[in-house]
């Protein structure tokens, strides 16, 4: 029987203690920040009014009304907190250079958001507004960002996560109550309409690091794009499909191999993963099969994932279902299914999934296996790691999806279609204010919220500093495929798993020709649709 070696947990416990100390210090810092804000007198508190909000009422998170204390009441920071930071040391608590004169006059920026109690990583309302500090690093950073922006620019940020009916009514009436709304990725193309701004028309420099340049380049078409993705958009980052590993299982066999350095040196490939699988697998009952069980005599597997994994193995080769004829905002979508290298990638994927020790299972069993130490690798979305926080003594490391070959010299990742983005309704007419707010919202998120997001994977969801570095590598190598996110290549997407799992890759060329016609038709339909949208605002 194979017993997975457990290393001395002293180092792990030290890290956990350090994590608790860091969290407590952050909590105390933000509490002090909030308390200093609350000292503001009622006479100096500015409250914006809208058609549905009176001087003594503001919209709350659930779209209800509330008297007395509001978000505006907690946006005042001490002068020392803000003014001690100079432009030579930007940390998000100072005004962005070039925006020193911006004062929104107490304006409320209300955003309609997606909320569900099923899976918190898909909830984007938390990335816009939280009620109070909780000790959760990301939530507290969102709270801090809103308070800082409130102080610096005299505004409030609020969210309506009540279901969207009020938002729809507002858009229909044109009352300008909402500045924006989030929506799921599968609506990325259908949201293109005369109800939403072509965001490329805004006076915004999207080349700045607080914007996701790949998003704008991948999804713009004929100079038009009807959504945004920036540092305030965390769900697409949580929805990226990655690999992670059980560190105790890894160290039982490969303690002398620095897998993170392999990633840095571009040695993390399909063949490397196969080598790890073959060395770690263990047939506990000697039946020459590798299966998942939740018992003490369980086989040790090398790699477990779900039926969705073949799609992400294909994308790991740098392929997309649809791309651009030129990588500029004015470029247009083209079908890329007939990429001849796609066949090489699928053949490599077959070799990987047919390796003894690879097993396709449901999400629940994959989660159990990585937590119980009965598999080395699992692939899933980044956000799934949030659900492991309760697991005792679990040491997780984070890795990109492997490259097909070392010659690729780049990692590629695809976000799941649960990603959400931000659209701006034309009912909100002041384009100058929109551009200023979005730029500042992205900048302060980049300085305050995104670092907290990365740190949670260093100290909370994973077990080492390097995992934060890996998450940064991953989130900066994401590509956005209109063929997948826009549903243009749904049939081909379903066939990828069949080709890989049933070893039918010889059908790739004929399938690419067949489905190219369908995708071409969808692209032409979209281009015709947006050509009729007048964006001369």
Residue with token string 């790890």: 276
Q: Which residue pairs, CB below 8 angstroms and at least 24 apart, start in 497-502?
A: 497/307, 497/308, 497/310, 497/311, 499/310, 499/346, 500/310, 500/313, 500/314, 500/346, 500/349, 500/350, 500/353, 501/307, 501/310, 501/353, 501/360
CA distance 496 to 504: 9
What is the H or E stretch that residue 65 is in? Answer: strand 65-66
Q: What share of the chain is helix, strand, coil (3-state, %, to 5)?
A: 45, 15, 40
- What's residue 285's pLDDT? 86
Nearest to 388 by CA among 274, 247, 489: 247
Token pair in block for residue 330:
């004015």
- The predicted structure's pLDDT at residue 390: 80
State how far the Cα of 482 lies from the Cα of 219, in Å rounded to an integer: 6
Residue 323: what pLDDT? 96
* Closest-CA residue to 166 (of 48, 53, 56, 49): 53
Looking at residue 117, its pLDDT comes to 56
378: left (phi over 0), alpha (psi -120 to 50) or beta: beta
- The 3-state secondary structure of 340-383, one letter per residue: CHHHHHHHHHHHHHCCCCEEECCHHHHHHHHHHCCEEEEEEEHH
For residues 138 and 32, what is the distance between their CA atoms, to the nearest angstrom? 17
Place of tokens 């659900």: 387
pTM for the complete prediction?
0.83
Strand partners, 156: 108
Assign 228 to helix, strand or coil. Answer: strand
Closest CA to 456 of 389, 363, 390, 411: 389
Give the total residue count for the chain.
Answer: 537
Tell me the CA end-to-end span of the chain in Å, nearest whole number.
Answer: 71
Q: Which CATH superfamily is domain 22-54+99-238+418-463 in?
A: Periplasmic binding protein-like II (3.40.190.10)
Do 158 and 496 meet the contact criterion of CB atoms below 8 Å apart?
no
Contacts for 481 with CB less than 8 Å, ≥ 6 apart = 218, 315, 320, 321, 322, 323, 414
Residues in the chain predicted with pLDDT less than 50, given as ranges, are 1-87
Q: What are the residues facing 413 on neighbouring strands?
A: 478
Instruction: Output the pLDDT for position 270.
Output: 98
CATH of domain 241-416+466-531: 3.40.190.10
C-alpha span between 435 and 199 (Å, rounded) = 9
Q: Do 359 and 303 touch, CB atoms closer than 8 A? A: yes
Distance, CA of 304 to CA of 250 (rounded, Å): 14
Domains 22-54+99-238+418-463 and 241-416+466-531 share a fold: yes
- The domain locations on the chain are 22-54+99-238+418-463, 241-416+466-531
Give the CA distances from residue 183 to residues 8, 161, 257, in Å, rounded to whole numbers and listed in that order: 46, 12, 43
In a 13 Å sphere around the CA of 165, the CA atoms on its Cβ side amount to 5
Closest Cα partner for 249 from 455, 393, 382? 393
Contact 426, 533 (CB under 8 A): no
Separation of alpha carbons 329 and 356, rounded Å: 45
216's enclosing H/E stretch is helix 213-219
């Amino acid at each position: 029987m194979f017993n997975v070696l457990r290393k001395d947990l002293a180092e792990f416990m030290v890290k956990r203690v350090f994590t608790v100390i860091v969290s407590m210090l952050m909590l105390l810092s933000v509490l002090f920040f909030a308390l200093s804000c609350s000292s503001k007198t009622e006479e100096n508190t500015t409250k914006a009014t809208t058609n549905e909000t009176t001087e003594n009422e503001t919209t709350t998170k659930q779209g209800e009304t509330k008297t007395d204390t509001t978000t505006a009441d907690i946006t005042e920071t001490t002068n020392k907190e803000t003014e001690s930071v100079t432009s030579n040391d930007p940390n998000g608590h100072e005004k962005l250079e070039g925006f020193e004169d911006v004062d929104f006059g107490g304006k409320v920026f209300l955003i309609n958001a997606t909320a569900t109690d099923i899976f918190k990583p898909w909830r984007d309302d938390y990335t816009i507004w939280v009620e109070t500090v909780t000790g959760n690093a990301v939530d507290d950073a969102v709270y801090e960002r809103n308070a800082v922006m409130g102080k610096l620019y005299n505004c409030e940020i609020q969210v309506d996560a009540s279901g969207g009916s009020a938002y729809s009514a507002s858009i229909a009436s044109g009352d300008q109550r909402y500045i924006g709304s989030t929506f799921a990725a599968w609506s990325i193309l259908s949201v293109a309409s005369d109800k939403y701004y072509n965001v490329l028309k805004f006076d915004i420099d999207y080349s700045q690091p607080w914007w996701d340049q790949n998003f704008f380049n991948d999804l713009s078409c004929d100079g038009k794009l009807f959504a945004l993705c920036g540092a305030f958009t965390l769900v697409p980052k949580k929805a990226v499909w990655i690999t992670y590993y059980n560190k105790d299982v890894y160290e039982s066999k490969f303690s002398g191999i620095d897998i993170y350095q392999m990633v840095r040196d571009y040695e993390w490939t399909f063949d490397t993963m196969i080598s790890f699988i073959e060395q770690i697998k263990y047939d506990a009952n000697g039946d020459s099969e590798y299966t998942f069980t939740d018992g003490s005599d369980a086989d040790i597997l090398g790699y477990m994932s779900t039926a969705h994994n073949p799609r992400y193995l294909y994308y790991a080769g740098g392929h997309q279902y649809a791309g651009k004829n030129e990588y500029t905002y004015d470029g247009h979508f083209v079908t890329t299914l007939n990429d001849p290298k796609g066949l090489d990638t699928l053949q490599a994927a077959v070799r990987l999934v047919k390796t003894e020790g690879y097993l396709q299972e449901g999400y629940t069993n994959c989660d159990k296996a990585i937590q119980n130490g009965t598999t080395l690798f699992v692939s899933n979305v980044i956000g799934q790691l949030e659900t492991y926080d309760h697991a005792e003594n679990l040491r997780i490391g984070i890795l990109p999806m492997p490259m097909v070959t070392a010659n690729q010299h780049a990692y590629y990742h695809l976000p799941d279609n649960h990603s959400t983005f931000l659209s701006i309704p034309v009912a909100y007419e002041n384009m100058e204010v929109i551009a200023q707010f979005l730029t500042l919202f992205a900048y302060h998120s980049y300085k305050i919220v995104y670092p907290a997001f990365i740190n949670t994977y260093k100290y909370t969801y994973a077990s080492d500093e390097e995992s934060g570095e890996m998450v940064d590598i991953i989130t900066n190598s994401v590509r956005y495929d209109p063929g997948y996110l826009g549903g243009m290549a749904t049939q081909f997407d379903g066939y990828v798993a069949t080709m890989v799992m049933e070893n039918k890759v010889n059908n790739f060329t004929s399938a690419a020709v067949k489905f190219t016609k369908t995708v071409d038709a969808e692209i032409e339909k979209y281009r015709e649709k947006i050509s009729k949208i007048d964006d001369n605002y």
